[in-house]
Amino acid sequence: MSTAGQVIRCKAAVAWESGKPLSIEEVEVAPPQKNEVRIKILFTSLCHTDVYFWDAKGQNPLFPRILGHEAGGIVESVGEGVTDLKPGDHVLPIFTGECKECAHCLSEESNMCDLLRINTDRGEMIHDGKSRFSINGKPIYHFLGTSTFSEYTVVHVGQVAKINPEAPLDKVCVLSCGMSTGFGATVNVAKPKKGQSVAIFGLGAVGLAAAEGARVSGASRIIGVDLNPSRFEQAKKFGVTEFVNPKAHDKPVQEVIVEMTGGGVDRSVECTGSIQAMISAFECVHDGWGVAVLVGVPNKDDAFKTHPVNLLNERTLKGTFFGNYKPRTDIPAVVEKYMNQELELDKFITHSVPFSEINKAFELMLAGEGLRCVIRMDA
């Protein structure tokens, strides 16, 4: 493209300080350097992780910053050393990466790349420790290596999944984080067999994606566990067949589920980050074969305990990161599942706003309304 090698001036939503509305600014986006790609973002959506770091509670605040990490776009130009992407390719930038060279990337069992694993504190590019964003010569920090709340962004090539150009970017953009995390936790890690029972703890967007994974896997019973009873009606669209509110019972919810199922569920997926939910998810699976998978991110000082006999009785406890998907290798195939109508995404997208109204997306999430709000960058 004619802009290759040049600084691009475009609009971006800048977070200047913690908890304050984002400000639409004209930023300068430098050309991609070695192993980097500059992407024209067409659609981005808001994930709870963006809100968490915008609010800057419980971690190191880094401002001014361009947030955003669920998105779809088109490659504008590539830097030195990039051979598997070219201008015009349709891509999803991903908050974690796949260098294809480290021990994790070379392992069939792991997706936790040594070089490009999620780093919430880093605000610059790996290549030279500098930002590609600036306003009047002053750097604006990156977020998760993606910073998709900008009309153009620069991303390490290892964090870019090349996808089918026929796939609608306004839909598949949600696969770059939350939907893949939940869906993959079920189909890649819990792996329920057809006809088995699954309990999902937390019926937010990630939990409903986990329920979708259980539905696609042919689970016979999908029990949703949430403190908000109003979520059950929506959860039915994702295959949830029964609902349990822990607050409605005078005994631990794991005991309730064990009674409901005659011994426990075959699989459980925890998507809240609550220590109590993690314990419940593990202790509600059936002895002998039950598998519990932890997805939610706890507070840094959290710890939980369960009696070792729960493990000795042949229950399995697993953790997962990004649904065990390798971003470059696996995400294109997840997009194909949507294209082949094996995976439904439209029901996750409950709102859409133009880029100029990006703060409305934050208001919707803070109010607990809807699942995903897609932001249209050209509007």
Q: Is 373 a catalytic residue?
A: no
Give the model confidence (pLDDT) of 100-150 as tens digits. Answer: 999 999 999 999 999 999 999 999 999 999 999 999 999 999 999 999 999
Catalytic residue, candidates 36, 38, 65, 69: 69
d(CA 73, CA 42): 5
Residues 292-306: tens digit of each pLDDT: 999 998 888 899 999
Catalytic residue of the set 44, 49, 96, 261: 49
Q: Which of 10, 47, 271, 373 is catalytic?
A: 47
Residue 9 parent element (H or E): strand 8-14
Question: Is 105 noted as a catalytic residue in this protein?
Answer: yes
Which pLDDT score is estimated for 1? 61
Q: Which of 25, 102, 242, 376 is catalytic?
A: 102
Task: Give the whole-angstrom CA distance, residue 128 versus residue 124.
Answer: 8
Query: Active-site residue among 3, 48, 122, 351?
Result: 48
Task: Count CB-CB contacts under 10 A for residue 139.
Answer: 14
Q: Which pLDDT belongs to residue 58?
A: 57
The reported pLDDT for the residue numbered 299 is 83
Q: The tokens 């999620």 sit on which residue?
A: 118
Choosing from 3, 25, 28, 117, the catalytic residue is 117
Q: Is 69 among the residues known to form the active site?
A: yes
Is 153 annotated in the active site?
A: no
Q: What is residue 2's predicted lDDT score, i.e. its pLDDT?
A: 84
Please name the residue that has the structure tokens 């796939």. Answer: 167
Active site residue 127: no
pLDDT at site 379: 67
The catalytically annotated residue of 10, 173, 177, 373 is 177
pLDDT at 56: 77
Residue 90 bears catalytic tag:
no
Alpha-carbon distances, residue 69 vs 118, 235, 327 (angstroms): 11, 25, 13
pLDDT < 70 positions in the chain:
1, 57-59, 379
Quick one: tokens of 176? 């770059």
284 is catalytic: no
Does the active-site annotation cover 113?
Answer: yes
H/E element, 221: strand 221-225
Reply yes or no on whether 48 is catalytic: yes
Verdict on whether the full-model pTM lies above 0.85: yes
CB 39 within 8 A of CB 69: no
Helix boundaries (H) for 27-161: 48-55, 103-106
| pLDDT of 31 | 98
Is 212 in the active site?
no
Provide the pLDDT for residue 118: 94
Q: CA-CA distances (angstroms) from residue 151 to 131, 220, 241?
A: 16, 44, 41
